[in-house]
């Protein structure tokens, strides 16, 4: 969804443009209002804006000054100047600063709509699929040296911890990072490879994803990328040197930039590469000798909380809060003895039921199948009790011990001898896993429903306040695009339609029971003016507020 910010110190112009774009079905827009450049800056500091349509002459801060700030904060944003002054000098200055377009307020609606369509087209063309794949092929041939990847992986695995050694090797390997400054970890995951089955195809797409990330970051930070576990990636991120001289809080600005940029990366990957991707951002930069601990912690969060949900964008703090609310220990880890057990654990934690049972079947065959031959007793014992360790660790982390106890006899899990034979023990293990997957599925559905309930509670309690996707995302801790998709997936309704319905229902209630004037009701429902409220009400009901009250 494209975010459009309309800026003008004349309220009627803003409301007229908002109505124009709300009624234009050809474009899917998330529309924001600002009645001054200062108010526009407040929005720009909170979230990324794709297109800004702004007046030039405004008090305190002009549209040209605003454009300079936009280019500093969000270099990819397109600016359209809409003004009543047909002055060549304004046009010249606007073009000099790379304005997307310049149109007069006297132009007709089709010209205004065409200008926004042109800007949308420009944004989309920035990530043409063919160009991305060509760049990816080139990058494959000139991939970063293997030594760089091995070194960074050793750091993340805790095999290199001495900071002087780390700093020296970073310099020797010509990495763009600084071994003397902390580094932020950012984990990514390809949620579903879809039709891309070949390893070569997947490698190519990883490079394409890296190109998209670099294009979106626009050189604002230094990064290094490592891919691992086939579908997962980790970026090491540092601010550039010039940002270190800024005032305190520069990392907060960088975090906001990263979060908004990753939302653009997600939408671009889905649109051009047909790849859903999720991201988890560390809370803050950590010292190089703490990277291994932070990496293990984020990996656990990525698998055990984000699960198999697609296109999530979360921070370490968001996930930790959800873990805490659910009574989870975010530092918990599972110690297993066989390499395939690690995969089984991951499949259970992420809800990959088919993959879990397929691998379990393979491991049962390795342990001698379902027969109880004496020569395979050691392998069977190892398999059984390794599985039990995974089950109990999952149950404790999920807080579902009592719920599981109601469906299976947990005491039998700890005693293999309590089963008549090996075949019966396997059946019990299989049944226990099915219960665990079912309870996990119910948990995920309940979490999604609770998010929807939280959205509705906030909307119903704040009809007169800011109900933008950005604000609702701030309240719930999820990124706006994910919220919009989740709401439609669960309810079958677009979130903006629900907000309009909520305001309409409240308006009807107030018009029926409340003697307040129309403009007072409009203000109580968050409408900028009584005129705009009247247009909205007539559009939804085919009668004016006054006519509805009389009826």
* Tens of pLDDT, residues 305-352: 555 578 888 888 877 666 555 444 433 332 333 457 777 887 887 788
Q: How far apart are CA 57 and CA 75, in angstroms?
A: 22
Interhelix angle 37-46/469-476, rounded to 10 degrees, is: 40
The predicted structure's pLDDT at residue 283: 87
Cβ pair 183, 285 in contact under 8 A: yes
Q: How confident is the model at residue 384 (pLDDT cuts 50, 70, 90)?
A: confident
Mean pLDDT of 288-317: 79
The predicted structure's pLDDT at residue 383: 79
* Tens of pLDDT, residues 150-181: 899 999 988 888 888 899 989 888 888 999 99
Q: What is 462-550's CATH topology?
A: Arc Repressor Mutant, subunit A (1.10.10)
The predicted structure's pLDDT at residue 276: 92
Residue spans of the domains in the chain: they are 2-125, 129-325, 339-434, 462-550
The predicted structure's pLDDT at residue 143: 54
Mean pLDDT of 410-436: 85
| Start-to-end C-alpha separation, the chain | 39
The predicted structure's pLDDT at residue 409: 84
Is the model's pLDDT at 68 over the cut of 50? Answer: yes
* Tens of pLDDT, residues 450-508: 889 989 999 988 988 888 888 888 888 888 888 888 888 888 888 888 988 998 999 99
Q: Which of 31, 95, 99 is nearest to 70 (CA)?
A: 99
Q: How many residues does the chain have?
A: 551
Cβ pair 508, 547 in contact under 8 A: no
Q: Which of 266, 189, 196 is nearest to 228 (CA)?
A: 189
Is the model's pLDDT at 30 over the cut of 70? Answer: yes
The predicted structure's pLDDT at residue 38: 93
Q: How confident is the model at residue 185 (pLDDT cuts 50, 70, 90)?
A: very high
Q: How confident is the model at residue 400 (pLDDT cuts 50, 70, 90)?
A: confident
Same topology for domains 2-125 and 462-550, yes or no?
no
The predicted structure's pLDDT at residue 447: 82
* Tens of pLDDT, residues 233-278: 999 999 887 555 444 556 778 888 888 899 999 999 998 888 999 9
Strands 184-190 and 277-281: antiparallel
- Report the 10 Å Cβ neighbour count for 430: 14
The predicted structure's pLDDT at residue 423: 86
Q: What is 2-125's CATH topology?
A: Rossmann fold (3.40.50)
According to CATH, the superfamily of the domain at 129-325 is Reverse transcriptase/Diguanylate cyclase domain (3.30.70.270)
Backbone angles phi, psi at 221, to 5 degrees: -140, 165
**Can you give the pTM of this predicted structure?**
0.52
Interhelix angle 146-156/291-304, rounded to 10 degrees, is: 80
Could you give the percent of the chain with pLDDT greater than 70? 85
Q: How far apart are CA 515 and CA 527, in angstroms?
A: 18
**Maximum C-alpha span of the chain:** 94
Mean pLDDT of 121-143: 66
What secondary structure does DSSP assign to 262-283, as a single string? HHHHHHHIIIII---EEEEE-S
The predicted structure's pLDDT at residue 129: 60
How does the average pLDDT of the chain come out, rounded? Answer: 82
Q: Count H helices, E strands: the chain?
A: 23, 10
Which residues are bridge partners to 314 per DSSP? Answer: 280
Q: How far apart are CA 430 and CA 437, in angstroms?
A: 11
Cβ pair 276, 231 in contact under 8 A: no
The torsion region of residue 98 among left (phi > 0), alpha (psi -120 to 50) and beta comes to left
The predicted structure's pLDDT at residue 219: 75
Q: How far apart are CA 254 and CA 261, in angstroms?
A: 10
């Amino acid at each position: 969804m494209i975010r459009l910010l309309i800026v003008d110190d004349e309220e009627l112009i803003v409301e007229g443009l908002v109505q124009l774009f709300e009624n234009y079905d050809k474009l899917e827009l998330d529309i924001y209002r600002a009645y001054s450049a200062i108010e526009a800056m407040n929005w720009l500091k909170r979230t990324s804006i794709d297109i800004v349509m702004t007046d030039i002459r405004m008090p305190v801060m002009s549209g040209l000054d605003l454009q300079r700030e936009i280019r500093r904060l969000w270099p990819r944003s397109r600016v359209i100047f809409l003004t009543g002054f047909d002055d060549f000098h304004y046009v010249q200055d606007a073009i000099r600063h790379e304005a997307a377009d310049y149109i007069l307020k006297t132009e007709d609606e089709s010209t205004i709509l065409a200008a926004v369509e042109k800007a949308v087209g420009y944004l989309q063309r920035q990530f043409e699929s063919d160009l991305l794949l060509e760049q990816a092929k080139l990058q494959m041939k000139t991939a970063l040296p293997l030594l760089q990847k091995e070194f960074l992986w050793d750091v993340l695995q805790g095999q290199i911890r001495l900071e002087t050694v780390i700093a020296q090797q970073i310099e020797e390997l010509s990495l763009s990072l600084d071994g003397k400054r902390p580094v932020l970890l950012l984990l990514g995951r390809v949620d579903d490879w879809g039709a891309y089955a070949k390893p070569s195809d997947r490698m190519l797409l990883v490079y394409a994803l890296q190109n998209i990330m670099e294009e979106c970051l626009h050189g604002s930070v230094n990064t290094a990328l490592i891919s691992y576990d086939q579908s997962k990636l980790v970026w090491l991120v540092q601010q550039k040197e010039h940002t270190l001289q800024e005032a305190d809080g520069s990392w907060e600005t960088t975090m906001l930039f990263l979060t908004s940029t990753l939302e653009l990366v997600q939408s671009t990957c889905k649109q051009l590469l047909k790849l859903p991707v999720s991201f988890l951002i560390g809370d803050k930069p950590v010292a190089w000798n703490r990277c291994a601990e932070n990496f293990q912690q984020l990996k656990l969060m990525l698998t055990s909380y984000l699960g198999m949900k697609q296109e999530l964008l979360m921070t370490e703090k968001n996930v930790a809060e959800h873990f805490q609310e659910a009574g989870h220990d975010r530092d918990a880890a599972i110690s297993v003895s066989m390499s395939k057990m690690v995969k089984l654990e991951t499949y259970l934690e992420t809800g990959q039921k088919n993959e879990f049972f397929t691998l379990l079947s393979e491991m049962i065959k390795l342990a001698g199948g379902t027969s109880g031959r004496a020569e395979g007793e050691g392998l069977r014992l190892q398999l059984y009790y390794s599985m039990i360790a995974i089950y109990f660790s999952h149950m404790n982390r999920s807080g579902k011990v009592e719920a599981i106890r109601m469906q299976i006899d947990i005491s039998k899990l700890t005693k293999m001898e309590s089963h008549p034979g090996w075949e019966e023990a396997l059946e019990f293990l299989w049944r226990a896993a099915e219960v665990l997957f079912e309870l996990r599925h119910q948990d995920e559905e309940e979490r999604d429903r609770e998010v929807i309930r939280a959205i509705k509670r906030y909307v119903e309690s704040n009809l007169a306040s800011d109900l933008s996707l950005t604000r609702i995302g701030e309240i719930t801790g999820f990124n706006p695009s994910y919220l919009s998709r989740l709401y439609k997936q669960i309810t079958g309704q677009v979130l903006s339609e629900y907000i309009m319905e909520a305001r309409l229902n409240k308006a009807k209630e107030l018009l029926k029971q409340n003697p307040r004037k129309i403009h007072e009701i409009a203000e109580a429902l968050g409408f900028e003016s009584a005129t705009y409220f009247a247009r909205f009400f007539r559009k939804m009901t085919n009668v004016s507020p006054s006519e509805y009250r009389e009826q």
